[in-house]
Amino acid sequence: MNLITAEKLPVPGGHYSHGVMAGKLLFISGQLPFPPDTRQFPDGIEAQVFQAMANVEAVLQAVGASLDHLISVQIYIVDVAHWPTVNLAYSTLMGPHRPARVIIPCGPLHHGALVEISAVAEI
């Protein structure tokens, strides 16, 4: 098992790593939509999805991978009413690549985020 730190992201605020490599699998911790250079979320669910996915991508890049390596994505949202917007933003980012995915309405998220995304990739 190897602990992964993405240099492009802030140091984790809790007791976790950005990612963990186990064999050929990379497990990416939940990414809130913090831009790397600030602790303020972008406005709106769509912008937050794009930023959270950029943070997922930063962890992938730390091991020389890309979004095309994702095999499973878990998207947590504060309200099921956001589902259509989240689905559209996600499909725009992912293009023809279709890993397994779940969108989970879960109620409030840390720091008031509208979305948090975790994932698994095969490297």
Residues 6 or more apart in contact with residue 115 via CB below 8 angstroms: 32, 33, 45, 48, 49, 52, 75, 76, 77, 78, 82, 86, 109
Number of domains comprising the chain: 1
Q: What is the per-residue pLDDT across 92-114, written as a single tens digit (0 to 9) for each?
A: 999 999 999 999 999 999 999 99
Q: What is the per-residue pLDDT across 11-21, written as a single tens digit (0 to 9) for each?
A: 998 999 999 99
Q: Tell me the residue range of the domain where 38 lies.
A: 2-122
Which CATH number is 73's domain given? Answer: 3.30.1330.40
Take residue 92 and report the two structure tokens written for it: 């725009």
Q: What pLDDT, on a 0 to 100 scale, did the predictor assign at position 4?
A: 98
Q: Say what angle helices 83-94 and 45-61 make with each other, to 10 degrees.
A: 40
Q: What is the per-residue pLDDT across 30-82, written as a single tens digit (0 to 9) for each?
A: 999 999 888 899 999 999 999 999 999 999 999 999 999 999 999 999 999 99
**Nearest to 30, CA basis, from 5, 1, 55:** 55
Q: What pLDDT, on a 0 to 100 scale, did the predictor assign at position 38?
A: 86
Take residue 86 and report the two structure tokens written for it: 């989240």
Residues 6 or more apart in contact with residue 107 via CB below 8 angstroms: 78
pLDDT(86) > 90: yes
